[in-house]
Chain A
Amino acid sequence: GEDVEQSLFLSVREGDSSVINCTYTDSSSTYLYWYKQEPGAGLQLLTYIFSNMDMKQDQRLTVLLNKKDKHLSLRIADTQTGDSAIYFCAEEGGSSNTGKLIFGQGTTLQVKP
């Protein structure tokens, strides 16, 4: 079945780059997403990538997609304390026609000053 896996925790120093990794199983996924959840808040879409792309850059964010290995990563350059949050990877499409997003468990990013 469809599954998305993420590591649960990442700690970095302010100013360093953060890389959050995600693997998925559905090879027919069409879109892959990164959402950010701050404490007590809903999910905020950070960025998404279409499955025929290898990379997408948006200011401090870089998304890399390796479709062969079903691996997605989110790189945050010059990480700030305001980036501390839970980051969810999600996939959509392929075998499901329900519009459902399959989410990973979420990676808690801790940014130390």
Chain B
Amino acid sequence: EAQVTQNPRYLITVTGKKLTVTCSQNMNHEYMSWYRQDPGLGLRQIYYSMNVEVTDKGDVPEGYKVSRKEKRNFPLILESPSPNQTSLYFCASSLGRPYGDVLTFGAGSRLTVL
């Protein structure tokens, strides 16, 4: 089944403890992106990647890192998480960007930072 898989789905951690949220897609998509969803704000883009080894900042990149060493994987790294990074995170991918190529979203990863 064509899908975007995120892990973990739920995580509670403490301030400053490094964590990685993995994202993997099995559709040979070139474009991948991370969003965070917060109440009343909709979804905001954190980072995106047009292809392997090509990444760039979205609207809210502070406190996050990403890497794209392989086409299928796009992990989101929080080096020193803080409570304001408590959020619902979505990874998404598509064949190519921009314009009109449908983004497929993962099921989401709910992160709580205490």
Binding site for B on A (CB under 8 A): 4, 8, 30-31, 35, 40-45, 48, 50, 88, 90, 92-93, 96-101, 103-106
Contacts and interface: CB of A to CB of B under 8 A. Distances in A.
Contacts of A44: 105
A-B pairs with the 6 shortest C-beta distances? A99-B97, A103-B42, A42-B105, A103-B43, A99-B98, A43-B105
A45 B102 contact: yes
Contacts, number: 69
Given A42-B107, A92-B99, 9 more contacts: A30-B100, A42-B106, A42-B108, A43-B90, A88-B43, A90-B43, A93-B99, A99-B31, A103-B35
With most chain A CB atoms within 10 A of its CB, the pick from B42, B59, B94, B103 is B42
Nearest to A104: B42
B74 interface: no
With most chain B CB atoms within 10 A of its CB, the pick from A42, A92, A93 is A42
A40 to B, nearest CB: 8
A58 to B, nearest CB: 14
Interface string B27-50: 000010101000011111100101
A48 B100 CA distance: 8
Given A92-B98, A93-B98, A101 B41 contact: no
B56 interface: yes
Contacts of B107: 40-42
A12 B69 CA distance: 48
A98 B32 CA distance: 11
28 contacts: A8-B40, A30-B99, A30-B100, A31-B100, A41-B107, A42-B90, A42-B105, A42-B106, A42-B107, A43-B90, A44-B105, A50-B100, A88-B42, A92-B100, A93-B98, A93-B99, A98-B45, A98-B58, A98-B98, A99-B31, A99-B97, A99-B98, A99-B99, A100-B48, A103-B42, A103-B43, A103-B44, A104-B42
